């Protein structure tokens, strides 16, 4: 391998190959060899960057989370200055629903990984729940600020409500993936739940 190789770019190339295989055939079809073939590189190169299949999959989850955060930040940046906490949460959680190709890939890969980890000890050892934990912590902080500002009902516990929101969003995302409901219906349910926490959005 040339010493001048851009390692970050090569890792990204291999992760993109994994995501294409997973999106097309499911995460169960992902192997080190299938990723190598998809990327047009040798199996040895994949093994150089990712010692195990579990390591490769975990790297893909981390990359998906990074890209998701970039989309979330872009959506939040479009909000008016001093927008209320509800607007921040709705923008954040709506972006997390599988409403386009990147977000659908995120949900598909994460859900498939969770299912595989139930029966694969090597996958289960990888801390793939760290991403949802970080999301829940961020939402908890937002809700604490909202309660202090008088926006959130004072009888609600921010940590408990953050856990409910994350769980609700994951469930809604899965329901969209399997065709149980449309993205629009999932978004409406999310908005209805936020109404219960903050009260309906002002008209206009």
CATH code for the part of the protein at 1-51: 1.10.10.60
| Between residues 114 and 177, the one the model is more confident about | 177
Name residue, tokens 């289960």: 124
Domain with CATH 1.10.10.60 in the chain: 1-51
Q: Check whether 1 has a pLDDT greater than 70.
A: no
Q: Residue 77's pLDDT band (boundaries 50, 70, 90)?
A: confident
Q: What is the pLDDT of residue 35?
A: 95
For residue 202, the model assigns a pLDDT of: 53
Supply 159's token pair.
């940590």
Question: What tokens does 28 get?
Answer: 């169960």
How far apart are alpha carbons 140 and 157 in whole angstroms?
9
To the question of pTM greater than 0.75 for the whole model, the response is yes
Give the model's pLDDT for residue 57.
86
Give the model's pLDDT for residue 165.
Answer: 95
**For 110-123, how does the pLDDT look when each residue is reduced to its tens digit (9 = 90+)?**
888 878 778 777 77
Whether residue 2 has pLDDT greater than 70: no
For residues 117-142, give the mean pLDDT.
79
Is a pLDDT exceeding 90 seen at residue 161?
yes
> Cβ atoms within 10 A of the Cβ of 141, count?
13
Q: Picking from 31-35, 36-40, 90-94, 186-190, which range would have the lowest pLDDT averaged per residue?
A: 90-94
pLDDT of residue 125: 62
Closest Cα partner for 201 from 90, 68, 67? 90
The phi and psi torsions of 129 (rounded to 5 degrees) equal -85, -5
CA–CA separation, 178 and 155 (whole Å): 36
User: Of 28-42, 67-81, 100-114, which one has max mean pLDDT?
Assistant: 28-42
pLDDT of residue 175: 94
For 66-198, which CATH class? mainly alpha
Q: Diameter of the chain by CA atoms?
A: 61
CATH 1.10.357.10: which residues of the chain?
Answer: 66-198
Mean pLDDT over residues 61-72, rounded?
Answer: 85
């Amino acid at each position: 391998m040339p010493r001048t190789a851009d390692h970050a770019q090569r890792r990204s190339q291999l992760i993109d190959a994994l995501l294409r295989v997973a999106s097309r055939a499911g995460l169960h079809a992902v192997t080190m060899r299938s990723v190598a073939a998809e990327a047009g590189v040798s199996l040895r190169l994949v093994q150089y960057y990712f010692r195990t299949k579990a390591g490769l999959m975990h790297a893909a989850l981390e990359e998906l989370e990074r890209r998701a955060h970039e989309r979330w930040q872009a959506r939040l940046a479009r909000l008016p200055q001093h927008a209320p906490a509800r607007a921040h949460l709705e923008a954040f959680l709506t972006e997390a629903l599988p409403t386009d190709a990147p977000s659908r890939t995120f949900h598909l890969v994460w859900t498939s990984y969770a299912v595989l980890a139930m029966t694969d000890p090597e996958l289960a050892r990888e801390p793939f729940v760290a991403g949802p934990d970080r999301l829940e912590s961020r939402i908890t902080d937002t809700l604490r600020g909202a309660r202090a500002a008088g926006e959130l009902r004072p009888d609600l516990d921010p940590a408990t409500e953050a856990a409910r929101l994350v769980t609700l969003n994951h469930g809604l995302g899965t329901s969209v993936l399997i065709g149980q409901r449309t993205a629009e219906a999932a978004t409406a349910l999310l908005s209805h739940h936020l109404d219960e926490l903050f009260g309906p959005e002002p008209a206009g």
